[in-house]
Each structure stands twice: as structure tokens, then as C-alpha cells.
């Protein structure tokens, strides 16, 4: 028998073609191959006769090839193969595209199983389109069964993947279950080896779902345990206690150019109380875009500095880090708090009115001296370049949840072994049902009310050319009032994943036509950091009127004069992402506009209506969740990989069970000493988060 960790090449009879397929899937071990899970199943469990073939329903027939030939095609190198299949009851057409080898494989007189759905197509009439087929003599792979449908990429066909996975399943000794029997028994779940068999080779749809639930439960439980063990380790390490300087807090708020909202005050107060304790704070500050999270962080950082410790603010991009620097200088500058900017391109120390450029080694040295407020990109903590007296780490725009950052903060803990307090700031509203699962026992502060005097953003969907022109008129009008506009382009070409092409083309098109005469800037992911900064700075200063950009501008950018956000190809974005983008405008007392340019497809535009109707991020998030359906996979990524391959949004009851079981473990065996194999799986999940 083969083992789970054996290379896939060890399997019998892997052809050169299959080897290439495995390579393109980045599959190296048998375990990795068996961890490609079906997206859904086609039920082929009843054979039908040709005369009884239903339309649009997956079925299997057993038929004889009466005729097979290649058809003439309009496009060169586009191969169409057509076969006439029949049984005693009648005959049906089957058409395949770009599979020239079929002419060699299928001959008149062959008897085959054909699996697929019969469809009615305008050009080709009624028949099977690219159905799966197998010789009726050979051992059947899909026919007469519930057939797994795997997610496919590139040159991989369903047939190849099914064969490989089926072979792996029969040749491999599946790993023993790492869940205690009594847990699976109590929840009525199958064992791990059974679950793999059920998922890949089910006898019925119910059995497949049973297997999926076992695997999903495992994912959810391991994730919960990873979060809780990280928390436990932080608790044991302890954090510095921050003494609250109330007179300073009063002075700080009095000096602000605005009054803090009630929710902002509550958030500050909750964090102040957390940080006064030796138990490390792990708090999430949730607030819609523009709700004013940064000033909360700034105030907490100032308080930490006043208590003779360092604080750090981390942002996902250089642009955001620089913007935070500006905010911090505005709010903290007058208290003689030294601020160090740490991005990949610049390291600058601000003290009073002095500005000193530092070399990377000087910057590290300055950090090592402590008593500083540092602001930079996430690399700041990930490379372990933290001040030794770091007492508060603020992480901005945490779209990705996960154990990652929490782990990083344990790893890079201070020389005295303690860990800093942590404040995560996120504009992604998470419905309550999911929050518990995704965030574990993180405390949450929510800013619901926006600062007063902000008119709601007027949002409108435009379709087609006419709508587009109205949008350009609006941009011209706003620019004439000294306001500014964003134009966001979607990533059209998947190979162009930084959006170089789309942004460049769109900027050129607008410049030479619809927005001729306006000053147009451009921002995309491939530009060197220096150029990005320069472009952004020009837009902030009002030296450009329109900024054509990819979703780089999604997070955090704060330009109060920006009043128009035109989003091209809006139907390509998720609701939550569109809401994020929309939040780049509406950051002042001016009326702002969000224009969603969609293609004319009605069905798609309907989905976007939610954004026209509400400005409330929580409502958008709920609608998004509903639209995506409870069948979608839980979208949590860690180090760029999906953590959940089987768990879905709809698995609320499994989530609750996972929380309950993890609580039991934490209460009775918090270091999982009695569960060595479960511990290995949990450690493996935590391990991936150290690698970045
Ligand atoms: P986000 O929560 O999206 O990060 P920001 O912190 O960037 O939002 O705040 C958006 C804008 O609102 C900033 O210009 C900030 O100065 C301003 N702001 C924050 N709090 C208040 C308040 N209480 N009253 C008025 N304006 C505020
Ligand atoms: Mg922000």
C-alpha cells in the first residue's frame, strides 16, 4: 500500500500526460491529490434509455456508436467531433469540441456509457455536448454512480482527475482518524478514512454529504483550536500593563479638531481597560469605511507612549502606511512623540519638526532603542523588527482573518518574553453567526455611527454607453468644483493580475476622449513604490483630477475632496468589495457619488441594487452572504491558501459543534497532551502561519 505522504509518481500506471496534469495542479503527494475535493456531484445513478432522455439533467445512457466524424469548423484549429449514438429505443447526437483524439479512440460499433446532460443548443440542435464517456466493457468510473465533479484548471479534464483520484484511493492507506472516536460518534460523523472514501467515491448523494461534513467539522475544529491555543500561549506569556494617564487623555481629546463619536469613545475606553491588565488584549475594532477608526488607534498609541512603551501601526500597503503617518503626525506631533516610518522604500524619523532619513540599519537601531511610535507595512512585524518595549500593535484593514497575525506577534515577542497588546481594525462587517467561528474569542468593538455631517453617498448603477456618458458629465461637473474622482478598473486579463493593462488602457482612453482636458493620474500594482506614492500624492494635493486605478485604492485611502467613485465592470466585483471601494469617497461634508458601470446584463445589475438602497456595511455584508449562498466555501485565507476546503457558510450547526468541542478540549486538556495526533494537525495549521 502507498502512504499519504508518498509522491504521486509512486502510483501505478501514471502516464506522462497525467504527470503533467498533476504538475499543473501543483500536486506532489498522494495526500494533496486526495485533498482536491469535489465541487458538486452529478447523479448518474439511474441509466435511462435514449428514447427517455430528459433535457438538462445529468444522466447516463448505454449506447452504440453508429457513426463518428469530424465536422467542418469556421475557425481553423477548432475541432468539432460529432457522433450518432443509439440503443434499442432510438438515437441521439453527441458533440465534442477540441478533442481530436476521439476519432482514434471511438470507432463505429463501439459500445459506451455516455454521461452528461442533453441540451438544446441553437447551432447544434438537441444532444449531448462534450459528455463523459467510457467503454461499456471497462470498469466504469462515473457511469451508474454519483460522480464527483472536481474544480478544474487549465488542461485538466474531469476524466483524468477522476481516474487519478480513484486510483489513489484504492492504492493508498488512508490516514487514521485524529479525532477521538467518542467525538465523531457523538456527532454521528464517519471516521476520517471513511469520509475520504465517501467524498470521492460515494454510493449516494447522502453519503457524499456525510463525508463532506466530517471533513468540514475537522477543518472548523482545527481552526478553532489553533486560535485558542495561540490565545492561551499569549495569555501565559502576558503583556505589559499600561497605566492610564487620564489627564493626558482629556488633553488629547480636547485638542482634536472634532468631537469623538460615542462609539469611538467606547472603543477607546474598552481598549484602555484591556491594556491595563496583564492579559494581552486581542481586540477587533470594526467600523464601516470612513467611520473614523484611525483616530481611535492614534489615541491608544499616544496613551501607550505616555506610559513609557512603544506602539506600532501596521498597514497592508505603502500608500496606507504613509497616509497613517500623516494622520499620526497630525494627532501626535504636538506631544513630542517620535514617529518612525518603516516601509520597503523609505525609513524616516520624525521628531518635532525634524525629519531624518535613515538607512535600514539605522532604522533598525532606532527601533531597538524603544520608546517610539512606529508606522509601516506588515513586514515591520513579520521580519521581527519590533521595538523591544512594543506594548501595542495595531493592524489596519484586516480583511483576512486568521491566526496569522496573532501568531506573528507571539513569535516576535519582546526580549522579556511578554507579548504586545493587539488591536485589529477592519471595515469588513462580519455577520454575528460567522464572527464567532472566524475570530474565535477575539473581543469586538463596533463603530456604528459615522461622524456627524456626512451626507450619504449617492449610488447609481449605469448600464451601457448612454449611462457612461452621464457618468463622465458628472465627473466633469465635480472637477469643475475642485473635487476629484476615482475611476476603478477591474482586472480583465487573469494573467495580468496586477491590472497593469486595464489601468493603462483606460487612462489612455479617457485622456484622449471622454475626459479630455482633465488631469488624469494612474495607479496599478506593478508600479514601483516610488511612482505609486508620487501618483497618490499628486491626487491628494489636487495636482491630478482623476485617478485611474485598480483595486489598489480599495483599502483606506483618505482623500476628503474625492467625491466621485466610478467603478468599471462593477458586475465583476463582490458586493462587499464594491462597498469598500465606495468608502473611498464620502469622507467629507460634500455630496459624494458612487457610479457603478455594469454591462447591460439585467440579472447582474439586479445584484448591485443593494448598494443603491443602503449605505450600511452590515446590511451589504448580509446581502452578500445571502447572494453567495450558504453553499459557498468559507473564504478564509492564510498565507494565500484557503483554510477551508470543505466547510461552507451554511454549516452553522457544525461551527457551533466545533466551538463546543474545542471548549471542552481547552477546559480538560488545553495543550492536547492526550491527543498527540490531533495536536500534530493543529500545529501544522499554526506552522503555515509562521512561514510567510
Ligand atoms: P476609517 O474608519 O475608514 O479608517 P478614517 O479613520 O480614515 O476612517 O476616518 C475618516 C475621516 O473621518 C478622517 O478624515 C478623520 O479625520 C475623520 N473623522 C474621524 N472621526 C471623526 C469625528 N468624530 N468627527 C468628524 N470627523 C472624524
Ligand atoms: Mg482606515
The secondary structure of residue 419, as a DSSP letter, is -
d(CA 453, ligand 1 centre) in Å = 12
Given a contact cutoff of 8 angstroms between Cβ atoms, the answer to whether 285 and 296 are in contact is: yes
CA distance 307 to 303: 6
Ligand nearest to the CA of 268: 1
Phi, psi of 494 (to 5 degrees): -60, -25
pLDDT at 616: 81
pLDDT at 279: 94
* Domains of the chain in sequence order: 1-41+150-173 (no CATH), 46-144 (2.40.50.140), 175-237+654-692 (no CATH), 241-447 (3.40.50.300), 458-614 (3.40.50.300)
Ligand nearest to the CA of 558: 1
pLDDT at 278: 95
Confidence of residue 141 (pLDDT cuts 50, 70, 90): low
Better pLDDT: 627 or 614: 614
Confidence of residue 241 (pLDDT cuts 50, 70, 90): very high
Task: Name which residue sits closest to atom 1 of ligand 1, judged by CA.
Answer: 290
Ligand 1 atom with least separation from CA of 293: 2
Given a contact cutoff of 8 angstroms between Cβ atoms, the answer to whether 478 and 545 are in contact is: no
The neighbourhood of ligand 2, an ion, using CB within 5 A, equals 556
Pocket probe for ligand 1: among 253, 292, 319, 447, the residue whose CB has the most ligand atoms within 8 Å is 292
Task: Name which residue sits closest to atom 10 of ligand 1, judged by CA.
Answer: 290
Q: Which range is least confidently modeled, 239-243, 282-286, 334-338, 573-577?
A: 573-577
Q: Give exposure, 342-374, as e/b (b: 16+ Cβ within 10 Å).
A: bbeebbbbbeeeeeeebeeeebeebbeebebbb
For 390-417, the pLDDT digits (tens) are 999 998 866 554 555 556 666 556 888 8
For 459-468, the pLDDT digits (tens) are 998 877 777 8
Confidence of residue 586 (pLDDT cuts 50, 70, 90): confident
Mean pLDDT for the stretch of residues 113-129: 82
Looking up cell 463603530, which residue turns up? Answer: 447
Q: Which range is least confidently modeled, 69-73, 229-233, 289-293, 634-638?
A: 634-638
SS (H, E, C) 438-466: HHCCCEEEEECCCCCCCCCCEEEEEEHHH
CA distance 132 to 271: 59
Q: Rounded mean pLDDT of the chain?
A: 85
Q: Three-class SS of residue 684?
A: helix
User: CA–CA distance from 143 to each of 47, 147, 279 (Å)?
Assistant: 8, 8, 59
Contacts (Cβ under 8 Å, ≥6 apart) of 124: 93, 95
Percentages (nearest 5) of helix, strand, coil residues in the chain:
40, 20, 40
Given a contact cutoff of 8 angstroms between Cβ atoms, the answer to whether 457 and 617 are in contact is: no
For 188-236, the pLDDT digits (tens) are 999 999 999 999 999 888 899 999 999 999 999 998 898 888 888 888 9
CA distance 515 to 485: 11
d(CA 535, ligand 2 centre) in Å = 20
Q: Name 342's bridge partners.
A: 347, 376
Contacts (Cβ under 8 Å, ≥6 apart) of 11: 2, 30, 164, 167, 168, 171
Q: Which range is least confidently modeled, 469-473, 532-536, 641-645?
A: 641-645
Give the pocket of ligand 1 (CB within 6 Å).
258-261, 264, 287, 289-295, 427, 451, 556, 558, 560, 587
pLDDT at 620: 83
Tell me the angle at which helices 205-237 and 432-439 cross, rounded to the nearest 10 degrees: 60
For residue 425, give the H/E element and its range: strand 421-426
Sheet holding 458-463, edge to edge: 458-463, 593-598, 562-567, 484-488, 546-549, 520-523
d(CA 54, ligand 2 centre) in Å = 55
Confidence of residue 307 (pLDDT cuts 50, 70, 90): very high
pLDDT at 501: 59
d(CA 291, ligand 1 centre) in Å = 6
d(CA 584, ligand 2 centre) in Å = 10
List the one residue out of 549, 556, 560 whose CA is nearest residue 586.
560
Task: Name which residue sits closest to atom 26 of ligand 1, judged by CA.
Answer: 451
Q: Name 488's bridge partners.
A: 549, 567
SS (H, E, C) 123-160: CCEEEEECCEEEECCCCCCCCCCEEEECCCCCCCCHHH
Cell of 22: 498533476
Given a contact cutoff of 8 angstroms between Cβ atoms, the answer to whether 557 and 536 are in contact is: yes
Confidence of residue 437 (pLDDT cuts 50, 70, 90): confident
User: CA–CA distance from 454 to each of 297, 299, 429, 581, 595 (Å)?
Assistant: 21, 23, 20, 17, 18
Q: Three-class SS of residue 294?
A: helix
d(CA 388, ligand 2 centre) in Å = 26
User: CA–CA distance from 288 to each of 350, 579, 584 (Å)?
Assistant: 30, 9, 11
pLDDT at 399: 56
For 153-191, the pLDDT digits (tens) are 767 788 889 889 999 999 999 989 999 999 999 999 999
For 528-542, the pLDDT digits (tens) are 878 888 888 899 889
Confidence of residue 690 (pLDDT cuts 50, 70, 90): very low
CA distance 443 to 270: 10
Amino acid at each position: 500500500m502507498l502512504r499519504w505522504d508518498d509522491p504521486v509518481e509512486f502510483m501505478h500506471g501514471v502516464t506522462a500526460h497525467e504527470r503533467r496534469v498533476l504538475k499543473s495542479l501543483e500536486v506532489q503527494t498522494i495526500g494533496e491529490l486526495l485533498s482536491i475535493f469535489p465541487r458538486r456531484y452529478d447523479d448518474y445513478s439511474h441509466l435511462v434509455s435514449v428514447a427517455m432522455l430528459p433535457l438538462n439533467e445529468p444522466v447516463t445512457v448505454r449506447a452504440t456508436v453508429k457513426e463518428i466524424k469530424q465536422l467542418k469548423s469556421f475557425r481553423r484549429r477548432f475541432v468539432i467531433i460529432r457522433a450518432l449514438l443509439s440503443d434499442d429505443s432510438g438515437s441521439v447526437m453527441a458533440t465534442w469540441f477540441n478533442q481530436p483524439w476521439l476519432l482514434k479512440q471511438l470507432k463505429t460499433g463501439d459500445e459506451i456509457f455516455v454521461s452528461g446532460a442533453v441540451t438544446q443548443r441553437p447551432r447544434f440542435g438537441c444532444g449531448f455536448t462534450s459528455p463523459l464517456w467510457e467503454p461499456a466493457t471497462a470498469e466504469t468510473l462515473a457511469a451508474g454512480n454519483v460522480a464527483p465533479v472536481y474544480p478544474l484548471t487549465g488542461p485538466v479534464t474531469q476524466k483524468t482527475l477522476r481516474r487519478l483520484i480513484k486510483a489513489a484511493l484504492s492504492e493508498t492507506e488512508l490516514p487514521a482518524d485524529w479525532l477521538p472516536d467518542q467525538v465523531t460518534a457523538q456527532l454521528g460523523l464517519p471516521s476520517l478514512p471513511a469520509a475520504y472514501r465517501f467524498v470521492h467515491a460515494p454510493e449516494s448523494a447522502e453519503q457524499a454529504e456525510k463525508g463532506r461534513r466530517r471533513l468540514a467539522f475537522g477543518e472548523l475544529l482545527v481552526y478553532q483550536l489553533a486560535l485558542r491555543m495561540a490565545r492561551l500561549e499569549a495569555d501565559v506569556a502576558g503583556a505589559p500593563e499600561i497605566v492610564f494617564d487620564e489627564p493626558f487623555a482629556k488633553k488629547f481629546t480636547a485638542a482634536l479638531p472634532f468631537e469623538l463619536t460615542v462609539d469611538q469613545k467606547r472603543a477607546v475606553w474598552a481598549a484602555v481597560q484591556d491594556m491595563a491588565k496583564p492579559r494581552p488584549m486581542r481586540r477587533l475594532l470594526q467600523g464601516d469605511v470612513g467611520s473614523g477608526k484611525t483616530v481611535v488607534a492614534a489615541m491608544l498609541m499616544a496613551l501607550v507612549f505616555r506610559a513609557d512603551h512603544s506602539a506600532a501601526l501596521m498597514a497592508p500597503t505603502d500608500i496606507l502606511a504613509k497616509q497613517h503617518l500623516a494622520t499620526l503626525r497630525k494627532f501626535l506631533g504636538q506631544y513630542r512623540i517620535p514617529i518612525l516610518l518603516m516601509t520597503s522604500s523609505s525609513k524616516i524619523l520624525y521628531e518635532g519638526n525634524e525629519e531624518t532619513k535613515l538607512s535600514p540599519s539605522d532604522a533598525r537601531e532606532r527601533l531597538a532603542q524603544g520608546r517610539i511610535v512606529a508606522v509601516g507595512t506588515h513586514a515591520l512585524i513579520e521580519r521581527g523588527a519590533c521595538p523591544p518595549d512594543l506594548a501595542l500593535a495595531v493592524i489596519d484593514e484586516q480583511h483576512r482573518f486568521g491566526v496569522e497575525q496573532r501568531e506573528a506577534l507571539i513569535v516576535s515577542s519582546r526580549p522579556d518574553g511578554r507579548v504586545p497588546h493587539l488591536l485589529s481594525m477592519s471595515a469588513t462587517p462580519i455577520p454575528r453567526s460567522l464572527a464567532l467561528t472566524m475570530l474565535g474569542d477575539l473581543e469586538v468593538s463596533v463603530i456604528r455611527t459615522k461622524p456627524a455631517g456626512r451626507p450619504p453617498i449617492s449610488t447609481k448603477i449605469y448600464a451601457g454607453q448612454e449611462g457612461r456618458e452621464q457618468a463622465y458629465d458628472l465627473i466633469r461637473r465635480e472637477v469643475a468644483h475642485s473635487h476629484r474622482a476615482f475611476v476603478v478598473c477591474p482586472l480583465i486579463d487573469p494573467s495580468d493580475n496586477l491590472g497593469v493593462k486595464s489601468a493603462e488602457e483606460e487612462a489612455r482612453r479617457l485622456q484622449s476622449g471622454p475626459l479630455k482636458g482633465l488631469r488624469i493620474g494612474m495607479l496599478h500594482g506593478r508600479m514601483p513604490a516610488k511612482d505609486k506614492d508620487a501618483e497618490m500624492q499628486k491626487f491628494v494635493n489636487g495636482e491630478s483630477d482623476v485617478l485611474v486605478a485598480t483595486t489598489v485604492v480599495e483599502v483606506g485611502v483618505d482623500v476628503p475632496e474625492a467625491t466621485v467613485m466610478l467603478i468599471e465592470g462593477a458586475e465583476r466585483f463582490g458586493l462587499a468589495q464594491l462597498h469598500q471601494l465606495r468608502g473611498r469617497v464620502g469622507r467629507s461634508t460634500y455630496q459624494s457619488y458612487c457610479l457603478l458601470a455594469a454591462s447591460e446584463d439585467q440579472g447582474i445589475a439586479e445584484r448591485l441594487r443593494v448598494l443603491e438602497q443602503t449605505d450600511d456595511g452590515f446590511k451589504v455584508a448580509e446581502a452578500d452572504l445571502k447572494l453567495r449562498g450558504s453553499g459557498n466555501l468559507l473564504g478564509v485565507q492564510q498565507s494565500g491558501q484557503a483554510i477551508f476546503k470543505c466547510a461552507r457558510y451554511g454549516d452553522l450547526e457544525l461551527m457551533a459543534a466545533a466551538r463546543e468541542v474545542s471548549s471542552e478540549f481547552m477546559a480538560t486538556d488545553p495543550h492536547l497532551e492526550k491527543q498527540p495526533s490531533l495536536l500534530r494537525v493543529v500545529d501544522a495549521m499554526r506552522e503555515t502561519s509562521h512561514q510567510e
